[in-house]
Amino acid sequence: MAKNQIEETKALKAKIDRLEKELEVARIEVARLEGFADQDPLLPEILNRRAFVREMSRIISFADRYEVDAALIYFDLQGFKQVNDAYGHGAGDQVLRRVGLTLRGNVRDSDLVGRLGGDEFAVVLAKADEAAARAKASDLAQLIGAEDVALEDGSKVRIVASYGVCCFKGKMDPEAAIANADKEMYAARARLKQ
């Protein structure tokens, strides 16, 4: 092989090595950004709505195919607007963080926790029938309201979470499941006001 070809081969190999390193750096960055795309921006330990609905679709399909129970719990925080109005949005963010951590810290790793928007949270319980889902929903709501949230200014607020449950039946649309659980939550809240 001519000296010129050897030099060209070395240069080409060096270029390939450099490109492989750049590709690996790009893959790591893409994986990091994909994680951000699925996380709630305020609560990175839980899923945003888009990722939550995507993963819930998978659980619904799995539950349908293998005939296992699974359920959605939908939470809405009562009086949250008043927290923002009285104490500011920073205080509201503290409350949301506390609720997100409470939910994530009190479900199994196989369960989903997401923030659907504003003060709306949801949990999908894999392998949970209606009785188990309702019991877990009640427990989680009690945990959310069990302690006052201490705000940065020293004030304390108590959070009350209303909830609704929707058990997955067949090939259910995720948005329909959310709407059903939301509807049940409002009905339960109305009964409490009577």
pTM of the predicted model as reported, rounded to 2 decimal places? 0.82
Q: Are residues 15 and 103 in the same domain?
A: no
Residues across the chain: 194
The Cα–Cα gap between 48 and 41 comes to: 8
Which tens digit of pLDDT belongs to each residue from 136-167?
Answer: 999 999 999 998 888 888 889 999 999 999 99
User: Each residue of 169-184: pLDDT tens digit?
Assistant: 888 999 999 999 999 9
**70 and 156, same domain (yes or no):** yes
CA 33 to chain centre: 17
- Residue 43 in domain: no
C-beta of residue 40 within 8 angstroms of C-beta of residue 115: yes
DSSP assignment, residue 163? E
- The C-alpha torsion from 178 through 184 and 186 to 192, rounded to 10°, is -150
Residues 105 and 15 in one domain: no
Residue-number span of the structural domain to which 5 is assigned: 1-38
Whether residues 29 and 97 fall in one domain: no
- Percent helix, strand and coil across the chain, each rounded to 5? 60, 20, 20
CB 42 within 8 A of CB 101: no
Whether 2 shows a pLDDT value over 90: the answer reads no
Cα 21 to Cα 37: distance, rounded to the nearest angstrom: 24
How many domains would you assign to the chain? 2
Helix axes 89-105, 80-87, angle to 10 degrees: 140
User: According to the model, what pLDDT value does residue 136 have?
Assistant: 98
Percent of the chain with pLDDT over 70: 94
Whether 12 and 70 share a structural domain: no
In 3D, which of 44, 159, 158, 41 has the Cα closest to residue 101?
44
Judged by DSSP in three states, 71 sits in strand
Q: Sorting pLDDT into bands at 50, 70 and 90, what band is 72?
A: very high
pLDDT higher at 35 or 16: 16
Model confidence band, residue 42 (pLDDT cutoffs 50, 70, 90):
confident
